[in-house]
């Protein structure tokens, strides 16, 4: 009896580490003080860049989208999903991504699969000038079955204390500007998989005319990052010395209502016109081919809006003309302070 016969192949783990080492090190910058394989990662804050630095962190996963990757036997983009999702979660507070750590759990470690996943993370980290500073590969038969994979990421970013965006300055008559999603992103996949594979009996390789691609290709479109699109623009204070945006929301689980309500101050309500943007084909296909209530669609999915900003009316044209934003609503006064009443969806 040995560890391998019990279900854990230490050599496979080392092989996976060796396979990703060069790719991971390509994300390093002058702030990274340690190499891959140490017990912990070291990252030095650039004190020349930040006056009053505030660290902003978040942890998240890709949900059951990982099961779609398994069905398609393609893990090349799931790492991109993970990084971009986490970037958006800290960017809503105006944070610059600094470094990233990952967790990959599996019942049986497959070095090739791990390399695909990490390669996607490396691409996304390099896109954001962010270091992939460390992580954990855990082979745990009994906790995970076969080659099932669990994927989680932790991100740490930084912003100036005076530049934190949290929605507290949102006021009546501010404008709600949305930005289109690239598809399902990383939320609602449990419901989507049930509709597509259990109810409709579709196959992952089926070509769907509505999408112009296979079902697998549509479902594995990477989660979009809004940081490259918006960061420089919203921090361009110009002569008014004000941030362009008052509040931002990443539209994930819970949809527009569940996420936008988190930044709306008491006494206010965001009134959203659901006819103000074009719903992508994937959401129409899911809704039209299954008996599902319209409100449930807006709760489970982003419905085509992956990120939202709230701005004063004077800045709206900038976001529309230079960032392809869409005016989707306005902030109104509201006497009820209940979070459920802080977002009102019209024209469902």
pLDDT per residue as tens digits for the range 165-204: 999 999 999 999 999 999 999 999 999 999 999 999 999 9
User: Where does 3-161 sit in CATH, by number?
Assistant: 3.30.1330.10
Query: pLDDT class for 265, splitting at 50, 70, 90?
Result: very high
- Provide mean pLDDT across the span 129-136: 94
Each domain of the chain, given as residue ranges in start order, spans 3-161, 175-346
**At residue 15, does pLDDT exceed 90?**
no
pLDDT per residue as tens digits for the range 328-343: 999 999 877 676 789 9
Per-residue pLDDT for 13 more than 80? no
Q: What CATH architecture applies to the domain 175-346?
A: Alpha-Beta Complex (3.90)
pLDDT in tens, 311-330: 999 999 999 999 999 999 99
pLDDT for residue 131: 97
How far apart CA 234 and CA 150 sit, in angstroms, is 35
CA pair distance 81, 184, nearest whole angstrom:
11
Lowest-confidence region among 45-49, 74-78, 167-171, 235-239: 235-239
Tell me the pLDDT tens digit for each residue of 211-253: 999 999 999 999 999 999 999 998 876 555 568 899 999 999 9
Asked if the domains 3-161 and 175-346 are classified in one and the same CATH topology, the answer is: no
């Amino acid at each position: 009896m040995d560890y391998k016969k019990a279900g854990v192949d230490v050599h496979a783990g080392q092989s996976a580490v060796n396979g990703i080492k060069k790719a991971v090190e390509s994300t390093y910058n002058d702030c990274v003080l340690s190499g891959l394989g140490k017990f912990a990662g070291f990252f030095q804050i650039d004190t020349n860049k930040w006056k009053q630095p505030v660290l902003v962190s978040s942890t998240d996963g890709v949900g059951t989208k990982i099961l779609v990757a398994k069905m398609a036997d393609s893990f090349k983009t799931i790492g991109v999903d993970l990084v971009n999702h986490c970037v958006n979660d800290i960017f809503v507070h105006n944070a610059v991504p600094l470094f990233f750590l990952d967790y990959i759990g599996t019942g049986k470690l497959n070095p090739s699969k791990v390399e695909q996943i990490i390669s996607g993370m490396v691409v996304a980290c390099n896109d954001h000038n962010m270091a992939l500073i460390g992580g954990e590969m855990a082979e745990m038969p009994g906790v995970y079955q076969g080659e099932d994979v669990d994927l989680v990421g932790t991100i740490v970013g930084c912003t100036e204390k005076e530049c934190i965006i949290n929605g507290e300055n949102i006021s009546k008559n501010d404008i709600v500007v949305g930005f289109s999603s690239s598809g399902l992103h990383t939320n609602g996949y449990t419901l989507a998989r049930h509709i597509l594979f259990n109810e409709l009996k579709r196959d992952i390789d089926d070509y769907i005319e509505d999408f112009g691609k296979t079902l697998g290709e549509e479902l594995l479109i990477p989660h979009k990052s809004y940081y490259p699109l918006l960061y420089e623009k919203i921090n361009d204070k110009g002569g008014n010395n004000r941030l362009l945006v008052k509040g931002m929301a990443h539209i994930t689980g819970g949809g527009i209502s569940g996420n936008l309500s988190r930044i709306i101050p008491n006494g206010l309500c965001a009134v959203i016109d659901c006819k103000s943007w074009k719903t992508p084909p994937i959401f129409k296909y899911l809704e039209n081919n299954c008996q599902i209530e319209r409100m449930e669609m807006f709760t489970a999915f982003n419905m085509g809006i992956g990120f939202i900003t709230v701005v004063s009316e004077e800045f709206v044209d900038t976001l529309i003309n230079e960032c392809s934003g869409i005016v989707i609503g306005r902030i109104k006064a509201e006497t009820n302070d209940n979070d459920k009443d802080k977002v009102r969806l019209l024209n469902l």
